[in-house]
Chains A and B, each alone.
Chain A
Amino acid sequence: MSSDSDNEPIETTSDVEPVSKTSPSLEKEIELPKFEKGLADKIVEKFGSRTKVAFVKPDRVRINVGRDDVKEVAKFLRDVLSFDHAESVSGVDYPQDKEIEVVYHLGSYTDSSLSRQILVLATRAQREENPIPGNDATKLPSLREIFYSVEFHEREIFEMFGVYFQGHPDNRRLLLPEDWADLPPLRKDFAIKGR
């Protein structure tokens, strides 16, 4: 079981191989997977302290970036490291941190050495207690010009979490009905009735 916590961004961590459930205290310095470490190193080399590598696992590398740098990092990932599409874009709501995290899973079809890798790019948006619709600070820059494939995913996050993506050509509802007047449903303060 991976004992990493990726709620707070940390520097390179030691990776415990997922063998048994009872080894939280063993902090052996196991070799990090080389290829993924190489990717993480390239990113850190370019961006320094603006990005934080959350974990380096076999086939998965996670980078946490701030809201203002995410477009640059994404462009670097696309042009230099040749990640060309987003497998999935998900939002995670952390009301205790007052933030909504948007996680992009990026993959590559063109580069055959990257066909197993998924790069996890995570940014955070501020979350207000009582948002005024249309005038709150929950905004993120849209990655649509860089990765065309995130268009519908970002629309879904917009309607499910209330995160406005600046630069997205079409911030509109996708799955919810047009007359939805309640909170964005996937936020934690939206409770399903009866539970």
Chain B
Amino acid sequence: MNKELPPGLALQKVDERIMTLNVGPQHPGSGHMRIIVQIDGDFIVACDPDPGYVHRGEEKMAEYRNYITNIPHLERPVIHDSCNILYPYVLGVEELLGIEVPERAKYIRVIASELNRCVYTMYWLAIYGIFLGHSTMFMWPAGDRELLIDLLEKMTGARVTHAHFVPGGVRNDLPPNFEDVCLRQVNYFEKRIKEYAAIFYDNPILISRTANTGVLSREDAIRLGTTGSVLRASGVDYDLRKKEPYDVYDELDFQTNVLKEGDSYARSKIPWLDMMESCRIIRHALQKMPKSGSVRVKLKPNPKGGDASVYKRVESGRGSLGCYIVSDKKPEPYRVKLSVGSFRNLIALPYLLKGEKLGNMPSVYWSLNYWPVEADR
């Protein structure tokens, strides 16, 4: 039996008690990612995430397109949160080119960004319900999010992949009578998500399944470099919209939701609380928005940056999203790097799952606010 192994392979002794389970890409509990889980009875001994099933080479392809044609390209990682993905890129290009954005455009950008955040969070909540086996928790958010997608369709023309932000502002102005429709729908939306408390967040089985599982302490959350709702559920008060405000966030009033427990229940509750804050932001922005004005600064064709590099970051539904652009004097960027919240939170997964029960795996895994497509880019 001692035949020569092909080069590059090694023999590894396997413990008989441990079973390796491929929670693979074709699995109702994994999203588009493979998690190789080694279990001993009911306890997870080791976990090895294997992303990359949806890797499309966005960053490489971005080097072949110029700054403007990169916009529909770079919004693809999260299609329903596309405004937030584009936001740091657009802000970076504006800094490279030295453009000042008109006031009305800034408000429209803020409104679109918050609507996108809500749309993404509802989808995430729906999948969380599926992972826990709660089909109503899938149907209600998926249905209520249609209200906001409808608004975005009025605003940008597309339900997802909006491609609305351009360097210099937004592509089009709001349609007439948008403010009233938006206010009405956002108010109804807020009423609906307040009802989620009774059926989801006060549901005793949901609480007993997610509370005290996957506890991430404050020091570990900082050390692992997590971001977004994972960080705020562990007690760190860090929200980029407050710490490094971009566009008009410093003029709108909202609060950051922080919970201290750091378990899956807290991580699943923070996005829901954030959605209610988003509704406040939208209402306030609609009030303060200048009623007329230009929404775009016209650019010369084929804008070129100089020899510079910028790093801009934005708070999206999953956490802080950064874009590092290196430009030389060509119309195409030299390097575009997206630093996405999902990829940064992924390191918490093997850390948290060690020693967890197998039954907790879906709830811990998805509570990290992980979007597989974005992490792979």
Contact = CB atoms under 8 A, between A and B. Distances in A.
B223 A1 contact: no
B238 A21 contact: no
Contacts of B311: 60, 88, 105, 118, 120
B57 interface: yes
A47 to B, nearest CB: 22
Contact of A4 (B59, B225, B308, B339): B308
A86 interface: yes
A195 B60 CA distance: 12
A180 B97 CA distance: 38
A174 B238 contact: no
Contact of A148 (B61, B223, B337, B343): B223
Interface string B292-321: 000000000000011111010100000010
B78 to A, nearest CB: 17
B339 A1 contact: no
B224 A174 contact: no
Nearest to B52: A175
Interface string B26-53: 0000000000000000000000000110
Interface residues of A, number: 46
Contacts of B313: 87, 118
A39 B223 CA distance: 22
A149 B322 contact: no
Given A109-B231, A195-B64, A87 B339 contact: yes
B34 to A, nearest CB: 11
Contacts of B249: none
A76 to B, nearest CB: 18
A11 interface: no
A92 interface: yes
A175 B376 contact: yes
Nearest to A22: B98
A79 interface: no
A59 B313 CA distance: 11
Interface of B: 51-52, 55, 57, 59-61, 64, 95-98, 100, 222-225, 231, 236, 238, 243-244, 305-309, 311, 313, 320, 322, 324, 326, 334-335, 337, 339, 343-344, 346-347, 376
27 contacts: A1-B306, A2-B306, A2-B308, A3-B306, A60-B311, A87-B225, A87-B313, A87-B344, A90-B324, A90-B339, A103-B324, A109-B231, A115-B238, A115-B244, A116-B243, A118-B313, A147-B225, A148-B224, A148-B225, A149-B223, A149-B347, A152-B347, A174-B51, A175-B55, A192-B57, A192-B61, A192-B64
Interface of A: 1-7, 18-21, 59-60, 84-88, 90, 92-93, 103, 105, 109-110, 115-116, 118, 120, 147-153, 173-177, 185-186, 190, 192, 195
